[in-house]
Amino acid sequence: MNQEQLLQLVAKHASPPRALSASNNSLLPGTGFCAVCARPILATYCQCYRCDQDQKGEYGGELADQVITLSYAVKGHSQKAQFYSDLFRYKDDQPSRVAQNRLLAMVALTRMAHSACFVSEGEFSWVTGVPSTRGRKTLLVELSRVLMPDVDFLETRFVGNPAVPRDRVLTPDAFEISHRISGRVLVVEDTWVTGSNAQSLAIQLKRAGASHVTIVTLARLLDYRDRETAAYINGGGIDHDWGLQPCPVIQRDCTSL
Ligand SMILES: [Zn+2]
Ligand SMILES: [Zn+2]
């Protein structure tokens, strides 16, 4: 498939993150979006409550160095509801191939348009996906390989108790890295709600020797019941089609770089 055909699979369904649809580059902290996870927040803050708590907590110095958000998906809102359900249906017991193809297309397009942007501060030594807490083989392995085909895939395992809720606290010990590593690591995660699993894995990667961890999230899940999210959406925030520019890595147009 060529770029145009891939775009047709994704553009109408997914939403670009933050104000990336607007032609501004005022995406610095304090502009109404969490500097870590891109959740709409009051402009008086730099980070959402949860990201702020994580940074002030006991693992604050070991969190991911960079979080790249490829899109928004919104819970509780009819607009682009298909994409929100894709993010669950792609990993159902009987996964939706349409949903899987949409996510694969999003990652393939990101690779085509932004591979140089991803490595502008250094090449990655490893790529990995956040392992399934239910021990399943997930599409994240394939997505990781599509995004970074020339980088070795790092095996990681979930060794925690899947019955224990982990969304409120970071639990790095719930993840196991197969061996000592070094260099920069790219972590691929499907959805970000609190970021607990991805950040817990990032901490464990640092402890295993990673010098730098970047997390790529396919979709930041937003909840329309949240006041700042509702204000962003009601103001037309997700009315735009998902596209290749501005760049999700550098957060402005990267075609002239
Ligand atoms: Zn946040
Ligand atoms: Zn780019």
Which pLDDT tens digit goes with each residue over 25-71? 445 556 799 999 999 999 899 999 999 999 999 999 999 999 999 99
d(CA 81, CA 75): 8
Look at residue 180 in the predicted model and tell me its pLDDT: 97
Residues by chain with Cβ below 5 Å of ion ligand 2: 114, 117, 247, 254
pLDDT tens per residue, range 132-142: 888 777 899 99
CA 214 to centroid of chain Cα atoms = 10
d(CA 186, CA 155): 12
Look at residue 257 in the predicted model and tell me its pLDDT: 75
Helix (H) or strand (E) holding 52: helix 49-56
d(CA 130, CA 36): 18
Look at residue 23 in the predicted model and tell me its pLDDT: 45
CA of 62 to the centre of ligand 1 (A): 16
Q: Could you tell me the two tokens for 124? A: 């990655």
d(CA 131, CA 170): 15
d(CA 140, CA 142): 5
Residues in the chain where the model's pLDDT stays below 50: 22-26
CB under 8 Å to 134, separation ≥6 — which residues?
162
CA of 1 to the centre of ligand 1 (A): 35
Look at residue 30 in the predicted model and tell me its pLDDT: 66
d(CA 6, CA 10): 7
Long-range CB contacts (within 8 A, 24+) of 169-172: 169/196, 170/54, 170/57, 170/59, 170/196, 170/199, 170/200, 170/203, 171/196, 171/200, 172/59, 172/62, 172/200, 172/201, 172/203, 172/204, 172/207
Where in the chain are the domains?
A: 60-223
Report CA torsion sign: 164, 166, 171, 172. Answer: positive
- The residue behind tokens 């490893």 is 126
- Determine the topology of domain 60-223 in CATH: Rossmann fold (3.40.50)
CA of 94 to the centre of ligand 1 (A): 32
Total-model pTM = 0.95
DSSP 78-113: STTHHHHHHHHHTTSSS--HHHHHHHHHHHHHHHHH
Backbone angles phi, psi at 170, to 5 degrees: -85, 135
Report CA torsion sign: 188, 232, 48, 226. Answer: negative
d(CA 40, CA 104): 26
CA of 220 to the centre of ligand 1 (A): 10
CA of 53 to the centre of ligand 1 (A): 9
Ligand nearest to the CA of 244: 2
